[in-house]
Amino acid sequence: MEYESYSVWQEDPVGTPRLPDPVRAAAVRALLIGAVALVEAVIEMLLAAGDSWLSAPMLLFTVLTCVVATWSVLDVWVTRQVWNQRNGVVSSPSSAARALRRERRRARRAARQGAREQASRRRRQVARTHGV
């Protein structure tokens, strides 16, 4: 009896491309800071529930960590925008896009005009055949 070599690891093609390294690093940093902020918030709640004197300083540190976590999420967004602006985006200038839109608009207008003329010809032909 022959056994097929079967691998447990199977690679599937990914639909979205990988994030660039600086963006990924900023995202991981934001995730870790957010996790620390959540842990601090839970500890602060427990200290407040236990009427501990550490509750007040912990509250200040938790608020500060939440501000830093918000800043780190903003850093991910800015890093992604900068990366796209410098390296990643291949786009045509807006003037070329305007020209393409203008051509499409002309084609649509010409198609509508042709349809209107054809409909009016049909109406005139029907009117002639019915003697109106």
What are the residue boundaries of the structural domains of the chain, listed by start?
19-89, 100-132
Contacts of 43 (CB under 8 A, 6+ apart): 58
Backbone angles phi, psi at 92, to 5 degrees: -90, 155
pLDDT of 55 higher than 90:
yes
Model confidence over 16-50: pLDDT tens digits? 778 888 999 999 999 999 999 999 999 999 999 99
The phi and psi torsions of 7 (rounded to 5 degrees) equal -100, 135
Would you state the structure tokens that stand for residue 118, as one six-digit string?
């054809």
- 54, 47 Cβ separation under 8 angstroms: yes
Does this model's pTM top 0.75? My answer is: no
- pLDDT of amino acid 127: 81
